[in-house]
Amino acid sequence: MAASTLSAKQNEHATKATHEKKLDQLAEVAVKVGLGLAAGQELVMTASLDAAPLARRITEHAYRAGASLVTTLFSDDEATLMRYRFAPDESFDHAPKWLYDGMGAAFRNGSARLAITGANPALLSKEDPAKVGRANRAVSQAYQPALELIVRHAINWTIVASATPAWAAAVFPDDPPDGALARLWDAIFETTRINQDDPVSAWKAHDASLQRRASFLNEKRYAALHYRGPGTDFRLGLADDHLWLGGGTTAGNGLYCIPNMPTEEVFTTPHKDRADGTVTATKPLSYQGTMIEGIRVRFEEGRIVEAHATKGEEVLKNLIGTDEGARRLGEVALVPHSSPIASSGMIFLNTLFDENAASHIALGRAYTSCLRDGDKLTPEQLAAKGANDSIIHVDWMIGSDKLDIDGITSSGAAEALMRQGEWA
Ligand code: ZN
Ligand code: ZN
């Protein structure tokens, strides 16, 4: 009895030590490889209260790397819900513009940006979709000037994930809370390569392979992509002078960062006026606390002319009604079905993971870094090349092991690019 109790305790102790070590490695990789934080740089971090242990580890590694100041803005799910319960109706058209202006000022003054994701994907699913839509729109508008610096890669930034009890419960509803949390952490450590012997060099090798894939596509210079799969027959023109990117990027401030951890995609800018046909999503979309399932839309000349969802259709319609660019595409990304995230078979209910498990497209704003010299072009020049503009950017998954994609050359010839979800 005593012996077995002791060994159970020892086991628990060992598991905890292993977890602490992995958490520390994740923080180290986030600061060194994801952010590429420079000595003397400030860091602005956002996290939920549940992610405080990872936020603290990141803070430690940022200071060890020479950060001059780390400022973390914590959010609290319970407080968010109280607004829906008690705030006056007019509250939902408000956002803390002063806060986002301050973040923008920090970025312009040389700060790096790290976001820890891990929110409850269903936090707002029982709230009034109209209020959720208004609140989202207010935030999108207020955040716009600061977000612009992120989207243009003016500064080094990255997003990493922390498992949280609510997120774990949504992903593993049948598991006891502790078990669900441990499973979600393990999935995060696995897909962010922390389970490998040397996570920093594993990331460098992975980054190089994504860069090679992007170069291959840049040499091909396809004019369009043609998608065929269940519920999908869709032709998507690529923007003139489009540039495929994958893995890391050198930000405008000269620092090399890998903006998403994990990342498995190569992506570019589609032409905002050249999408035709029907697309069916292959995974649910968790959009700011609401689940949208069974998305099916039809495009004509780049514009969504019909939109359906089996669940959350009203939120979807609010989303694409945000502005004119919200019903056009700003990103196209290719991800093989054999990526570590896809092979986990999990649906993470979090875009950072799910978008890296499947080929996807994004409604809304295009990344100007996906165009040749895009950062030097005026908004008019960007639009002339086909780059979309909007206050939103929302990815949704259309890839599966049943999806075939052809690259269409400028002369109109079709070349097999992906077959049954894998690179051809
Ligand atoms: Zn993407
Ligand atoms: Zn995206």
- Hey, what domains does the chain have and what are their CATH numbers? 17-191 (3.40.1830.10), 222-245+265-423 (no CATH)
Measured in Å, residue 298 CA sits from the centre of ligand 2 at 20
What's the rounded mean pLDDT across residues 193-219? 94
Measured in Å, residue 260 CA sits from the centre of ligand 1 at 9
Residue 6 has pLDDT above 80, yes or no: no
C-alpha–C-alpha distance, residues 117 and 48, integer Å: 8
Measured in Å, residue 357 CA sits from the centre of ligand 1 at 10
Measured in Å, residue 4 CA sits from the centre of ligand 2 at 50
Measured in Å, residue 131 CA sits from the centre of ligand 1 at 27
C-alpha–C-alpha distance, residues 1 and 418, integer Å: 58
Q: Angle at the Cα of 406 (from 402 to 409), degrees rounded to 5? A: 175
Work out whether the CA dihedral 392, 395, 396, 398 comes out positive or negative.
positive
Residues 6+ apart with CB under 8 A from 350: 117, 118, 119, 121, 161, 167, 286
pLDDT given for residue 200 in this prediction: 93
C-alpha–C-alpha distance, residues 114 and 261, integer Å: 11
Residue 1 has pLDDT above 70, yes or no: no
Give the percent of the chain with pLDDT over 90. 82
Residues in the chain: 424
pTM value is: 0.85
Alpha carbon distances (Å) from 193 to 103, 199, 246, 261, 339: 30, 6, 17, 9, 12
What's the rounded mean pLDDT across residues 268-282? 97
Is residue 97 packed enough to be buried (19+ CB in 10 Å), middle (13-18) or exposed (0-12)? middle
What's the rounded mean pLDDT across residues 86-104? 97
Measured in Å, residue 347 CA sits from the centre of ligand 2 at 17
What's the rounded mean pLDDT across residues 22-44? 97
Measured in Å, residue 415 CA sits from the centre of ligand 2 at 25
Give the percent of the chain with pLDDT over 70. 99
Measured in Å, residue 156 CA sits from the centre of ligand 1 at 17
Residue 2 has pLDDT above 70, yes or no: no
* CB under 5 Å of ion ligand 2: residues: 331, 362, 395
By mean pLDDT, which of 17-26, 120-129, 241-250, 296-305 is the weakest? 120-129
Phi, psi dihedrals of residue 222, rounded to the nearest 5°: -60, 145
Measured in Å, residue 212 CA sits from the centre of ligand 1 at 17
Measured in Å, residue 74 CA sits from the centre of ligand 2 at 24
| Average pLDDT, rounded, for the chain | 93
